[in-house]
Amino acid sequence: MNKKESVQFVIDTLEELYPKTPIPLDHKDPYTLLIAVLLSAQSTDARVNTITPLLFAKANNPYDMVKLSIEEIKAIIRPVGLSPMKSKGIYGLSKMIIELHDGNVPNNFADLEAFPSVGHKTASVVMSQAFGVPAFPVDTHIHRLMYRWKLSNGKNVVQTEKDAKRLFPRELWNKLHLQIIYYGREYSPARGFDINKDIITKTIGRKEFL
């Protein structure tokens, strides 16, 4: 199977398994999605979804968020980890959204990545899932699977994103990155990996694991 055939096999298999791709993080608008994605760093979506209702009950917009102190935010979000950094980021970006963007989350990479605690991956998720702009956020699942599927060299997430964007059609990026995440969680975890359960790796990446 050549690379073009492998790419099509990935697309077809994921579409069959995951025809619908709900966004894993609970949110109601671009602002709450931005906060949820920021909180998900080195945490799980399930854990974030238990904490965001508590935070958003007090502040689900930047104007209410800056009325809280950083310490108050930190106390609420502590269970998701990295709360000192994340609480400062949430407060700081909320203030910037008010002062620089009239209270609205900007819909471009440059402004999003200028926010504290917001990197390229977080900005890509917001651009993709909040604004529908084609993007390919690379998380640990995608980085791992692109290597297992011999579609990237595993060097770093920057290279993995470049390879994903080069190989997969642009119109599929927003759905496909979620499909890969769902697949990784169900069939190809980092721990307890079983090639016989991972139909894609078994088909196109087996040589890497023999």
Q: Which of 14, 18, 51 is nearest to 35 (CA)?
A: 51
7/146 Cα distance (integer angstroms): 10
Active-site position among 74, 139, 163, 198: 139
Is position 111 annotated as part of the catalytic site?
A: no
83/172 Cα distance (integer angstroms): 34
Is position 102 annotated as part of the catalytic site?
A: no
Contact 89, 98 (CB under 8 A): no
Active-site position among 74, 86, 121, 198: 121
85/87 Cα distance (integer angstroms): 6
Active site residues: 121, 139
